[in-house]
């Protein structure tokens, strides 16, 4: 059975595309990067620590894909601009931007210092606006591109002692919708993927806690945590020609957690 027997499968190809995935040294970002490479994209792996990125890029190349490490701090405006200048210089194009970087600090709002609030909003929200602006600078002249934010179901449903993260993720949802309206007329689409409860490295302590894990499993109709690789298909779809008429949408990947009381 080959792709030629089913021509529609080519709609999911990213052959010849260049994709930047932020926060892709591990977790959901790495799974998205691997999947995009698997359907033909040259993936730029991003994080602040160069060594893990290089190792993951080498592993993707060894598996037959195309990948490069592009370390920089998404919250540093000068570093962001330098990184996109490098993309333009070395690749001549950027077709897909996946905004995956995020930090979380679960505690009551009253316990946050002003500097902590500003830092989380810089990393989780303001960086997305800066990155989208720079990506659009490369995409608009070619009248094509995909802006994809990895938000969270926390942007739609709230939980106590998580106000700053929830606000930032809701802000990203507003951002992708606003950019869908702003850049749609010049051929760019802007969408989001909203993960639910995933068994990532970041959530390892929660997964290992029987009481917490039982709560999340009961909260999800599929009765289990999401596996990190299960986020990849949604991101590939939104990046691909198959989603050419999807714009301003939030694709929830949560096992059904947000559809029940």
Catalytic residues: 165
Residue count of the chain: 261
Are residues 74 and 126 in contact, defined by beta-carbon separation less than 8 angstroms? no
C-alpha to C-alpha distance for 88 and 84, rounded to whole angstroms? 6
Q: What SS3 class is residue 147?
A: strand
Q: Which residue has the tokens 């970002």?
A: 29
DSSP state of 124: I
Residue ranges in the chain assigned as alpha helix (H): 27-38, 50-62, 77-91, 114-121, 127-139, 163-183, 204-208, 210-219, 232-239
Angle at 12 between CA 8 and CA 13, to 5 degrees: 110
């Amino acid at each position: 059975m080959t792709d030629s027997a089913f021509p529609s499968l080519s709609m999911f190809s990213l052959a010849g595309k260049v994709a930047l995935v932020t926060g892709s040294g591990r977790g959901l970002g790495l799974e998205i990067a691997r999947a995009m490479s698997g359907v033909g994209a040259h993936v730029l792996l991003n994080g602040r620590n160069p060594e893990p990125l290089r190792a993951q890029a080498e592993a993707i190349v060894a598996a037959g894909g195309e990948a490069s490490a592009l370390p920089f701090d998404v919250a540093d405006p000068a570093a962001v601009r330098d990184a996109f200048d490098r993309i333009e210089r070395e690749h001549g194009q950027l077709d897909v931007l996946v905004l995956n970087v995020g930090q979380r600090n679960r505690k009551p709002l009253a316990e946050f210092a002003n500097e902590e609030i500003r830092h989380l909003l810089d990393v989780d929200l303001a960086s997305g606006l800066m990155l989208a602006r720079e990506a659009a600078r490369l995409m608009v002249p070619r009248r094509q591109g995909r802006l994809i934010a990895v938000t969270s179901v926390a942007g739609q449903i709230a939980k106590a002692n998580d106000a700053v993260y929830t606000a930032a993720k809701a802000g990203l949802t507003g951002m992708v919708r606003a950019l869908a309206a702003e850049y749609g007329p010049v051929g760019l689409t802007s969408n989001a993927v909203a993960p639910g409860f995933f068994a990532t490295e970041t959530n390892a302590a929660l997964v290992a806690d029987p009481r917490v894990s039982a709560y999340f499993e009961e909260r999800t109709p599929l009765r289990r945590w999401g596996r990190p690789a299960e986020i990849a298909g949604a991101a590939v779809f939104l990046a691909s020609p198959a989603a050419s008429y999807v714009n301003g949408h939030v694709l929830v990947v949560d096992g059904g957690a947000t559809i029940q009381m």
